[in-house]
Structure 1
Amino acid sequence: MGLRLDEREAAGLVPRLVDHEQRRRQITDAVRRVIVGGGLEAVTFQTVAAEAGISVRLVQYYFGTKRDFLLATHRSVMEDAGARFMQRWTALGADATAREAIRAVLTELLPLDDQRREEVIVLGVFAWAAIGGQGITAEETFAAPRALVTIVADQLRRAQPHDSSGPGDPDRDAEIIAMATGGLAHGLLQGYGTAESALGLVEHLLDRILGAEVG
């Protein structure tokens, strides 16, 4: 019996017929679904291969270790969220206020649809894996919150009058916003509150830091 296409790919027999980035994405998407369905402990080469509909050998060809495809999955989630942020900002236009920009970013972090729900679950699982010492270090999970803090802090600085000498601290306020939004996201997953109440709390938080919106 001849080798399947994915087996020939893993053996290096059909390198020109495959988009390697697309194949890697097929695998990391499968990792996400396995995590959502059974947590990190459910992730193995076998379960990922079965979910992706390819051979174990092919998963091993693209990712030599479980840690490799876990970290690639983590990166893919952050890249997807980042791409949505950019789309939202582009849609807002050049005249968007700092508040509108921050609101757009925070809204993308809440599990308000299936894709965002999956991302919140996956990132949460990675965070708990780092806490529990399950092969992922805490440092490797910090890229997403650090990026969020940087984005929000930059927008908060933009909102401050250039001659302001008030008590505002954009970096610390951005940390508060990031932590609060993470809590809201996980609360929604657990059924604590609704999408409407979470969005209302985002507005309340922005009121506290930026001042109530006029008009």
Structure 2
Amino acid sequence: MPRLVDHEVRRREITSAVKRVVIRRGLEAVTFQSVAAEAGISVRLVQYYFGTKREFLLATHRSVMEDAGNRFTKQLSTLGDDVSPRSAVCAILMQLLPLDAVRREEAVVLGAFAAAAITGQGISAEETLAAPRALVSIVESQLTRAGATTPHLDAELILAAAGGIAQGMVQGHYTDQAGVELIDHLLDRVV
């Protein structure tokens, strides 16, 4: 009897392998062969699920964004309906900071994708901007609730700063404590 395969599970195994390769060796090390070896499957199977390298790179980016989005949603739902705009924005930003292994790995992978978009390594910035735009919209809505006069610009500024702080933490420029303090100080000034 043939074995039944859950295609979504298999796709997730492959994108997880891509993430591990990126984390250990960088985006340039991602090939059909390296991903297949990391996932413990054949190159043909990787090609079956993702016809091109670009397809599995974009699928990997989407999976990182979906995981982070699920974490944001879960975190916001625990705060309740009467959460202050500042607390809601702070909860979102804390999920962006690499304060644990999962978020650190996400920051490394997203940093690699950002560098690839800048240097033209097959992924364009436009293909990776949906999630950041959604985050700007969420933060903007909270700032509007808080009565901000320029909520869109403030949301863009807050998220740009948070992204820089997160990358600085990955690089070792900021400690976890310093990253949290910087976010708190930023929110004190803007919200």
TM-score normalised to the size of structure 1? 0.86
Give the CA deviation at 1:144.
2.4
Task: Tell me which amino acid in the other structure corresponds to 2:160.
Answer: M
User: In the TM superposition, what whole-angstrom CA distance separates every residue of 1:122-171 from its partner, at most 9, and x where no partner exists?
Assistant: 111111101111101111121222111111001101111xxxxxx72000
Query: In the alignment, which residue of structure 1 is the partner of 2:98?
Result: 111
**What's 1:121 paired with?**
108
User: Is 1:168 aligned with 2:149?
Assistant: yes
Confirm or deny that 1:73 pairs with 2:60. Answer: yes
Read off the aligned partner of 1:169 and give its amino acid letter: T
State the match for 2:75 in structure 1: 88
Number of matched residues? Answer: 191
Cα distance between partner residues in 2 of 1:53 and 1:44 = 14
Q: 2:129 — aligned with what?
A: 142
* Aligned partner of residue 17 in structure 1, secondary structure: coil
Which residue does 1:201 correspond to in 2? 182
Amino acid at match of 1:201: L
Normalising by the residue count of structure 2, what TM-score does the alignment of the two structures yield?
A: 0.97
In the alignment, structure 2 segments of 5+ residues that lack a partner are none
Q: Distance in 2 between matches of 1:22 and 1:44?
A: 20
SS at match of 1:168: coil
Larger radius of gyration: 1
Runs ≥4 residues deviating over 6 A: none
Q: Post-superposition shift, 1:209?
A: 0.9
**Structure 2 partner of 1:31:** 18
SS in 2 for 1:202: helix
What is the alpha-carbon root mean square deviation over aligned residues? 1.2
